[in-house]
Amino acid sequence: MDQYILFADGKQLSTTENRLGWLEASRLDEQREQLKQRYNQQGYLWLKGLLPVEDILEFRAQYFEAFRETLMLKPDSDAKDGFGNPDFTPNRKVTEIENQVVLWESYTRISQHPNILAFLKWFLGEDLYLHRRKMVRRMMPDSGRNTPAHYDLTYLRKGTDRSLITIWTPLGDIPVEMGGLIYLEGSHTAGARMEEEFRIKNANLPPDEQMSAYNRNMTEGGWVTKDLPSLADRLNTRWLIANYEAGDIVIHSPYMIHASTINNDTSGRIRLSSDIRYQLGGDSIDERWSNNWFNGDNL
């Protein structure tokens, strides 16, 4: 693993075998019960080739072309390649476009694709509910930015933890160096313990503050930590990395601790991905997620 020099929040991830490993991929032709057992044991399923690559690439080209006028792209580059402009500065126009992207029909085709629905109807049950708040995320190359370690239930505490799952979708190939999601091995059990500790600690707070990821007992942003190496040391486990491809999805538990590393792609490509949440409609639903995402909604 020595060839992977990965950074997050200014700290380099250890490359030793007991601190860095590979995410385990699953195939759609495997026994379904075996997949469910693996999810329960690991806290995630990385499903290869679930979505049509052409749908992903169509959305990707549309996305980057929409932002061309903002100077996000390298001049004269092909939109679908997503080469970033090193001189790009976010501006008001970027925010306006971002707020519309999640409403595009091409994005709906991905988030509600029949392949996803068919799998989830077996995996969860027929009464599927898709949270309306869906996000498309990009990470500019050499921005120095990454997502700190967290588990998703922190942000959806008003709803169920029984059937809630996150689907993370790479919108294009995302090799390790582009900073795709990394997962802390076996951490779905640690996340559940942490949430129970927060529940006890938050018990004397006003009801709305108890549910908030940003209450006085939480860290900034609701993160578990920004220090990824020390978390792996503390829990004596490994960060799992992957070379994701267009068409893949990862399903993970609301307690699974995950993060991202800095996008150090040498060719300067922008990392593009999506995350959505499904659950069973009969379980309690966090109504805060019943509106479309917009930049600055503070959830």
Domains defined along the chain, listed by start: 8-286 (2.60.120.620)
67 to each of 71, 82, 102, 217, how far by Cα in Å?
Answer: 7, 10, 14, 38
Q: What is the mean pLDDT of residues 108-117?
A: 98
Residue 181, token pair as written in the block: 């999601």
Which one, of 288, 282, 47, lies nearest residue 38 by Cα? 47
Mean pLDDT of the chain: 96
* pLDDT exceeds 80 at position 1: no
Q: What is the mean pLDDT of residues 215-235?
A: 95
Which amino acid is it at 82? Answer: G
Q: How many residues does the chain have?
A: 299
Q: Using one digit for the tens of pLDDT, what is the confidence trace for 229-281?
A: 999 999 999 999 999 999 999 999 999 999 999 999 999 999 999 999 999 99
